[in-house]
Amino acid sequence: MADIINLLPDNIANQIAAGEVIQRPASAVKELLENAVDAGATEIQLILRDAGKELVQVIDNGSGMTETDARMCFERHATSKINTIDDLFAIRTMGFRGEALASIAAVSQVELKSRRADSDLGTYIEIDNSVVKKQEPCQAQIGTSIAMKNLFFNVPARRNFLKSNAAEMRHIVDEFIRVAMSFPELQFSLNSNGQELFHLEKGSLKQRIVAILGQHYNAKLVAVKEATDYMDLNGFVGKPETSKKTRGDQFFFVNNRFIKSPYLHHAVMNAFAEMIPADSFPLYVLFIDVDPAHVDINVHPTKQEIKFDDEKLMYAFVQSAIRHALAQFSVTPALNFDLDPGISQLDAITKPFTPEDQALSVGSSIYKSFTQANQAHVIDKGSNSNLKHWKDLYEGPRPVSSGSSSFPSIPSAPHEIPAAASVIDERWQEVSSAQKVPMQVHLQYILSHIKSGFILIDQQAAHERILYERYNRALSDTPMATQQSLFPQTLHLQPADAVLVTEMLADLHALGYDLEPFGNNTFIVRGTPADIQTGNEQASIEGLLEQFKNFSHELKHNRREQLVRSIARNNAIPRGKPLSTREMQNLIDELFACTMPSVSPGGRFTYISFKLQDLERMFERGLKASFSFYLGDELRWCKLFSGCCQGVPDSKAV
């Protein structure tokens, strides 16, 4: 019988291995930037064309390579960082496995130029599908320039799985920011299709954070710095007001390597507990410096998932360090253990504690409350307490019977959840004008009569449904009217957000936003939809972007659907906003003119209807439950005193 197991050819094996390391252009960007950092470069340039699909080029002024090293670096598992197994547990460089360049060469066309400072000539190498096509001496600057062209040209099936240019560009910007944030002492630049998106000069960590995330963070960063024998932690966290509804401004670095750690992120969230909403995320850029022997970074090919030998210690240290930093900067209250010099001058300190004073203190009620057993929690009721009926102010009086017992709680009210097909069988026109006047309840709900009872409308969910259908019509039929600004505003965005807005410009114009790119991640806002308050343009667009990123993880919706849902939720009337009678009536009329008025785009009910017969049944059940309670209670007492109530049946029998 013939053997059937064969060794794969090198080019196929390399392509299979490349699938783990190079998943998209951003993966190649990460590997090439990290190689430039390991080479000791102080200036690093990233040049892109067609969101990295056509070209990804990294130019650095690092140490460069010899002719032999330039050829060897494209072999699988060829590395200068590991010689023995012990070296694997003392890694402080960004790369070490020798897979990056071999994987890149397996799925693209590569050109490399490199020269060392002690050489007059450099080396030029051209590789196509892992095959060296050309190698010759050349003129080159000190350092290395490597260009990856036509990614996945030899694997068209994988190229078809790449996203749009804007989506791939966002991933590239994310990887660029992570490397640039790790090394603020290095100069970085990013050029895409001839336009410079980033130019980051050397500086401090705070300067790098502000340069990347925005100038408005300059006065909203809190320094974190703690050092122990086991580990050091330093960096910055944002003040609570910088928290957002979406992730994106959270960075953890271990030994200058960006990592993803839900466990440590939970520690940061706990440190911010009760200072930010539960559904918000704080800004943080934190660097952990720890002995590599305590860390295993060889867990995942991307090296973004690592393991610690003592995760609980890391968790507690991160949490306490952030709380301490926030307390030092008066963001959270802290105990002050320093004694006020004025306290030492008080009579209680300077004068002796005489026997008369001791007897007086022992006889006081305060002393007794802390010395008598189980008395520390007792509060002296007093004869005339002003707090006697404080609870009634909030709960209201409860109905009581002629006896000493009170009614039990009435079961919760049943309500009718309307179907999408039948909005409400009694239309608004069938209700008299006197009953039609709506009323706002707790600045969140709108109560209004209908023919058979009343309905309770969630004002935010209802307005979100109205806006959603309005914006959908604008994208499919007639664009919305734009309210032109008398004085156009300049909108400065983060690079990733600027790419996002550029991708959505056509749809934003149809929705009433008049935006014009102004270069350098800046847009001119010349107009907004007519229903947005003047002067709120920037907040409206920034909120829209946050909502869009919040929806971006939902793969079941396409980009246009995500945009419509985002802008509807962002512009909907918030809970807590008072509405006039006319505004409430208009909202009700527009809601029931919608094609699906019963639910919001996110699936929440916009209203609940209550019928009169339901209310009558509620009160009847409450009365029956109360009567049954009293009867059963009386019968139970009679059984206890059987001598008084002979022959009374058991309550279960009743």
Query: Residue 275 pLDDT more than 80?
Result: yes
Inter-residue contact 571 to 533 (CB < 8 Å): no
173 to each of 25, 199, 216, 563, how far by Cα in Å? 11, 13, 20, 21
Residue where the block lists tokens 């909907």: 572
Return the ∠ at Cα 403 (arms to 399 and 405), rounded to 5°: 60
Q: Is 50 exceeded by the pLDDT of residue 315?
A: yes
Q: Could you report the per-residue pLDDT of 490-534, keeping only the tens digit for each?
A: 887 777 788 888 878 888 888 888 888 887 778 888 888 877 766
Task: Indicate whether this model's pTM tops 0.85.
Answer: no
Q: What is the pLDDT of residue 346?
A: 56
pLDDT computed for residue 90 by the predictor: 62
pLDDT at position 435 is 59
- What dihedral angle (degrees, nearest 10) is formed by the CA atoms of 151, 173, 553, 258? 100
Q: How far apart are CA 440 and CA 448, in angstroms?
A: 9
Q: Domain spans of the chain?
A: 10-200, 205-328, 428-611
- Contact indicator for 36, 144 with CB cutoff of 8 Å: yes
pLDDT of 223 > 70? The answer is yes
Q: What is the pLDDT of residue 634?
A: 52
Listed as own residue / partner, the contacts of 620-625 with beta carbons closer than 8 Å and 24 or more positions apart are 621/410, 621/411, 622/407, 622/410, 622/411, 625/408, 625/410, 625/411
Residue 42: the pLDDT is 95
Q: For 94-112, what is each residue's pLDDT tens digit?
A: 766 667 888 888 889 999 9
Predicted confidence band of residue 115 (pLDDT cuts 50, 70, 90) = very high
Q: Is the pLDDT of residue 45 over 60?
A: yes
Of 153-167, 458-472, 616-630, which gets the smallest average pLDDT? Answer: 616-630
Neighbours of 440 (CB within 10 A): 18
The CATH class of 428-611 is alpha beta
Name which residue leads in pLDDT, 189 or 537: 189
- Written as six digits, the tokens of 282 are 């704080």
* Whole-number pLDDT of residue 453: 83
pLDDT value for 57: 96
CATH of 10-200, one of 3.40.190.150, 3.40.630.30, 3.40.1500.10, 3.30.565.10: 3.30.565.10
Q: Please compute the mean of the pLDDT values over residues 174-187 and round it to a whole number.
A: 94
pLDDT in tens, 385-411: 455 454 454 444 444 443 433 333 333
Q: For residue 486, what pLDDT is reported?
A: 78
Instruction: Please say if the pLDDT value at position 417 is more than 50.
Output: no
Q: What is the DSSP string of 573-608?
A: PPTT----HHHHHHHHHHHTTSSSTTB-TTS-BSEE
Instruction: Pinpoint the alpha helices (H) of 525-580.
Output: 537-551, 559-571
> What is the C-alpha to C-alpha distance for residues 70 and 90, in angstroms, rounded to an integer?
25
Tell me, what's the pLDDT at 98? Answer: 66
The dihedral built from the CA positions of residue 250, 253, 256 and 257, taken in this order, carries a sign that is negative
Task: Supply the mean pLDDT for the chain.
Answer: 78
**pLDDT for residue 426:** 47
Q: What is the pLDDT of residue 622?
A: 63
DSSP state of 98: S
Residue 158 DSSP one-character state:
H
378 pLDDT higher than 80: no
Q: 571: pLDDT confidence band, cut at 50, 70 and 90?
A: confident
Using alpha carbons only, how large is the chain's radius of gyration in Å? 35
Query: Is the pLDDT confidence value at 631 over 50?
Result: yes
pLDDT at res. 83: 64
Residue, of 203 and 542, whose pLDDT is higher: 203
φ/ψ (deg, to 5) at 156 = -60, -30
Task: Give the tens place of pLDDT for each residue, 327-373.
Answer: 887 665 544 444 445 545 555 555 666 777 777 666 666 566 555 54
Fold of the domain built from segment(s) 205-328:
Ribosomal Protein S5; domain 2 (3.30.230)
* 239, 222 contact by CB (below 8 A): yes
**Residue (of 315, 296, 317) closest to 306 by Cα position:** 296
Looking at residue 106, what is its pLDDT? 87
At 306 the pLDDT is 73
pLDDT classification of 300: cutoffs 50, 70, 90: low
Tokens representing 195 are 């336009």
Q: Average of pLDDT values for 212-218? A: 85
- pLDDT for res 649: 43
Reported residue count of the chain is: 654
* CA 444 – CA 458 distance, rounded (Å): 6
Strand partners, 234: 225, 287
Mean pLDDT in residue range 260-280: 88
CA–CA separation, 473 vs 64, rounded Å? 58
The stretch 564-580 carries a mean pLDDT of: 86
pLDDT tens digits, 51-60: 999 999 999 9
Give me 302's structure tokens. 């991307």
More confident residue, 631 or 218: 218
Taking a C-beta distance cutoff of 8 angstroms, is the pair 96, 257 a contact? no
Measured torsion, CA atoms of residues 49, 55, 60, 63, in degrees rounded to the nearest 10: 180
CA 125 – CA 135 distance, rounded (Å): 4
Q: Residue 382 corresponds to which amino acid?
A: G
Closest CA to 456 of 621, 614, 572, 595: 614
Instruction: Please write the tens of the pLDDT for every residue from 3-21.
Output: 778 777 776 776 666 666 7
Say how many CA atoms lie within 13 Å of 469 toward its Cβ: 16
Confidence of residue 209 (pLDDT cuts 50, 70, 90): very high
Residue 142 scores a pLDDT above 90: yes
